[in-house]
Structure 1
Amino acid sequence: MKLQLKILLPIIGLFMLFMGLSGYLAYRQTAESLRASLIDNMEGEASAMVRAINDLADTSVQNIVRTADNEAVLRFFANAGDMGNPESLAAVTATLKRLEASYPGFDRITLLDTEGKVVATSRPELSKIGDKFDDRNYFKEAIKGNAFLAQPFFSRVVKKTVMAASSPIKINNNIAGVVYATMDLDPFFNAFVGPIKVGEKGFAYIINSDGLVVMAKNTDWLFNKDLPAVSSYKAWVAAKQDGAVELTGNDGREVVVYHKTEPGSGLTAIIRAETDDVYSGLYTLRRTSIIIILCSILVGSLLVFLVVRPVVRSLNKGVVFAGEIAAGHLDGTLDVRRNDEIGKLADALRTIPASLKEIIHEYKNLEEKIEKGELNAAGDEARFSGDFAMLIRGTNGILSRYRTVLENIPSPVIMLGKDLQATYLNKVARELAGEDYKGKTCQQLFGREDYFTATCGLKKAVETKRPGRGETVAHPQGKTMDVGYFSIPMLDEKGNLLSVLQLITDLTAIKSTQRTIMEVANRAMDISNRVAAASEELSAQVEQVNRGTAVQRDRVNSTATAMEEMNSTVLEVARSAGDAREQAENTQGKAREGSALVTQLITSISQVSTVSQELAENIKSLGTQTEAIGSVMGVISDIADQTNLLALNAAIEAARAGEAGRGFAVVADEVRKLAEKTMSATSEVGSSITGIQTATSQNIQRFSQAATLVAKSSELATTSGQALDQILAFAEHSAAVVSSIATAAEEQSATSEEINRSVEEIHRIAGDTASGMEEANVAVRSLAELATELNSLLDKLKA
């Protein structure tokens, strides 16, 4: 075989292979691009339908809730007894018709009582008064107290597919009935579903959460459980994943469908395209490409065979290879093996895609690490040289600068991988959680109490794929902190979770300040209550002392009266003794008895004098104690004045602090009011003690007068004794006079006994007075301690 044939045949063969492979790859790439474009278009249409469904659901629920809160509707249910009144029914029916006209989409609004019976409707020709709807899910849900949107269903009233929204009607927080409205879905279908076309034969339809078709151009599909694709529909709904699927359609044709679920209503939008329809142009392209490739192979082979020489053929291969590299296709091959300059050129060209692949591979690895949250990742500069190494070095420099910014943020910053394990912590976060953080969760690093609970912001961010906030108590390395955090999910272009960035704020100082203010306010209120109780107790004790003093004054008056009666009796005895001196011989025995009685009387009067003097001393001591209590009350009054002044200063400082000091100003104002109440109570207690001091002073004066009368009675009794001694020497009186003397002596004895009882009662009352004043003194000391505690509390507030 000639050399030319040896060169031409392989080149022609390679050319044929290249053309065939190029045609195949071109067809595959076109097919994939066409399918991707088709899926994108279908996804866009499905997303638009889902948005329309969401808008319909939200608007319907909002409008039915507004209807439930309508004043006329509430008034109708509030007057339940008048529901059957034609005027009341006509008024609420007019209101319902007006609301139906004002809310787009509503074609009927109906009011039901708690048993599900129709009591009013905007369309009496469709729903009659008394019809029961208690078996409908929209009634069952609304009567529980929840606004509800029912999925599309076939209405037995209007004989078409409708949706229903319902809401409870509440009177004074009690459910009085239910309002529901139905929406005719034909306008929605005509506006958002019917116009959608994919290719020549593609269309859109909607299924519910049970996998049944609820809106479609083909009415035979509606609520048909026997459709071939129902099982596939149910599987999509159960999987809760949107996407494109190729399957056999309900009409037996091969189709491509894209399904997307609206989570609020549970409805799924489906866009369908027939494979033969959308790929018909691709099939034509395939046939044309095959013809062109065959013709190109024949023509190229002929030209190469007739014109191209080995060198030209080699150069052409090199040019084609270089063109693929320039276009970004690095998987091509250059089959040129020569020892001359062309061979070296081929060798140089073959090294280019290898170097580019290494660079691309390095960047892909770096990109994957960063997407996973490994912010400390860097490219391997040592693997490359020249400008390639400089490119990697520049990329590493940019990443380093970003890391420096994160490191210097004064708040903790955490990066979590898609498995929610830590991949990066900045400096502040490492100081809290430690350096060993790789592969640990937030719960393991910070001991967050709300980790993946219902209030966890991280859980919300992962589930909703939207930023989530949260506040909780954390325990990093045994510490306890109040923290707030903001979780930001990082998603790929398909919405899949790649990593989560968390920004943490230390709220410990703020929470502590809030708790301190609340504690101070509670303690101030407790002190106020205790001061009020102590003041009431002190007032009761003072009132009791006043009553004792009044009784004591009455008993002293009684004692003075008894002393006067006894003095009169003694004088009468003396006169009788003078008349009976001539009869003394016959009455010596009785005279001796009278002498003994007078002796006892003198002893008793002496004892009365002694007790009266002691009682006077006790009452003087009581006066001294009440003066001391007055001094203590003066000190309490001074403390209250100082407390009031401190509260005023605290209010001024809070006013200077502006909004941040508003709560502190409220506490200071309450303390000032408490101080004013303390001053008022102290003033009242002072007035009561002044009254006690006045009454005690008057008692001292009256006891001094009583002591003087007792002394005079003692002198008179002594004189009576001397007269009785003379009676014993000269008694010669008649029996009548002696009887008179005996009667007077008996009256004298009774009077003495009354004096003894009065003096004993006075002594008891004086003891009760002393005890009451002691209790009053304890209450005053309690007031003083409470005032001191209140003063300390105010000092704490000032600090």
Structure 2
Amino acid sequence: MRWNVFNRFFIPTLSTIIIGAGVIMFVAYTSARSALQTEITREMEQASERLAGQIEEWLRNLQLDVLQQSERNITVNVLKNPNDWQGIQTANLALKRLKERYQYVVANIVNLDGMTLASSTAENVGTARYDDRAYFQESLAGKVAISSVIRSRTTGEPVLACSAPVLSEERVIGVFLVSISLNSVTDKFIAPIHIGEKGYAYMLEKDGTFISHPEKERILDQKITDFEFGQDLLAAHEGLFTYVWKGNPKQVYLSQVPLTGWTVAVGADMNDMFSPVAHLRQTVFALTLAMIGGVSLVIWLVAKNLTRPLVRGVAFAKAIASGDIQAELNVRRSDEIGELAIALGGMKSRIQEALRETERLTRTIQAGTLHERGSAAKFQGCWRDLIVGMNGMIDAFMDPFQVTAESLKRIARGDIPERLTHQYAGDFNEIQEHVNGLIDAMNDISAIAEQIANGNLTVAAKERSEQDRLMSALNRMIAALTDVVGMAEEIAAGNLTVDVRERSEHDRLMIALNAMVKRLHEIVISVKAAARNVADGSMQMNLSAQEVADGASQQSAAAEQASASMEQMASNIRQSADNAIQTEKIAMKSAADAQKSGEAVAQTVQAMQQIAKKITIIEEIAQETRLLSLNATIEAARAQEHGRGFAVVAAEVRALAQRSHDAAEEINELTRSSLAVSSVAGEMLAQLVPDIRKTSELVMEITAATSEQSSGSAQINNAIQQLDHVIQQNTATAEEMASMAEQLTGQARQLQIAMNYFKVNDEHWDGDLPEQPEERPHPSDKMMKKIVASQREKSWGRPSQRSVSDLTEPDEYDDQFERF
């Protein structure tokens, strides 16, 4: 579709009307929906909170009624006199009237054991028990309790129990309890609530179980958590909650019953609640469509009348723009559109005159007559400005053309002029910048040539483009001279690895420099290789000598330590022999003591047996005394009034005889226990005596073996001392060889340091000096003095001043020896 004037007028106007109507309709619909939703939410909130308050008040009244009934005298008398059958019958009648009055399912009076003493249902008396119910236990603790909702065993309805303690002298003597059907609460409070046609109320237990719902089959058989949204709804506790039920959006307002923790929910089907708003939306939409159709027809007729002459004017303007100056505009109107047609005709005449003058100026310039100008006096307004502008254009072209020609003429003669500073614009200013660039380049080339002539190679020629051969050749020349100077500096610094390359077969300087570097390179490599071989050989010899010295020193120290350990072992063996002798004496004495203890235990067993016999006699005496007192009591009963005093004395005698009999049995039991323990102790002592004697014999054998070990350890100690003397002689010889090797290594390192001044390329030479072996405390430095002194003392026959414990204790040199 072409976006013409008609479309520009008709479509936006019609779109504005449609959008305005749509916006109005949308705002009206959303406002009505929002207002209705707010009102529904407020109604659900009020209904939910009111319902929760009513149920809370009903529960409070139920607790108060139960508490009052628990305080009645008839309730207290039943619990105080459970055997008063007439009082229980009276209480049953009162409970039955109470059940009918308040529509209870049952009303009971229960004792502390949970047994029903009186009830509104006679069958419950003596049969119904409540000791396993949680609310019964709470009432025993002094609280008025309300149970969870359960299903009645008789009616199948959901019921609720409420119990209160029965007090007498501030002490709980029983419980009064009632159960009431929750259907009465549903019919009274929940069923009357309706939100719209499909909205209703329901009630949940703490765990989400339905305890009240219009669909009776859900009560106590289903939980809200069985549905996808149930867990979130139960977690919300209070406030507005939205969910989807069977494809329909629903909202409920939740409130809590503080006394029981029940959740009261009042909900509505949103499609049902918004149906009036949906009907209003459809009506407004139909009216809007009808209005838009009528307005569109009127706008179409007006737009056609306005755009027809404009279409003709556009065709005329397009013809003029395409160069058809002969085109005509046939529009005869007396309004603004007619005035526009007259103005377009005048514009055509002015364009024709301007074209004729432009053609004349073009022909004169093409003929090379640059002083000719256009006649501006023939025109007015913008057409006059057009001719004046053309004359100015010719003048602006002529001035920079003459200045550029003069500058190029001076450069061609070798006379570099100053930079051009005329104020030009556009392409003329770009031409001037190019000329100034040429002048700057010529000045730079002259300055660089002068610096190179003076020996300054830090200058650089700036290449103006990729085709600037002059500046490129100048830069290559500077780089070549700089490379030659760098090579000479590297060789002077001892670096013989520089890469000297001839730039051509005529480069005599580079050829001679390359030959010199190669000869120096070969000499330095030869000297370095020889120095390295000497250093490696001397270092290896040094390391070998040190290893021999270290091994000898470690062996010497180990031998001395082994000698000290043998002395310590001999001392321990002698001590063990002494301990074995003492152990033998103790074992013999323990055997004698154990035998005496066995005899004492046997005597104790005999004494216990005698005591048991005596106690049996005491039991028989107590039994006889008890029978006599019983006979005396019978005789006193026959004497009736005259034998009462004697009966009392007989009863006391019988009690004393019974106590004597009980005490005798206890003593007899203790005696039998002691006798068994004593018998076991005697048997254990009888077994212990031979074991102790066997232990004494084994200790004597250990003493003999220990003496033999002491003699052998002394012989081993003498052999170790002779080995220590030989090791010390080897240590001294290794020390001398290590000293000579260290001197040779030092001289080789000095030669390597001198030759490392030169840097060469040699794949067999890594350029690093061999590492000097780490100087560490040598055993011959300090420990040798201690070892030699010890050996001298032994060889001269004087005993050493160090004890065995001193030699076995750790000191600062222990880490230098190897452990065996």
Q: Give 1 or 2 for the bigger CA radius of gyration.
A: 2
TM-score range, shorter chain: 0.3 to 0.5
TM score, norm. by length of structure 2:
0.34
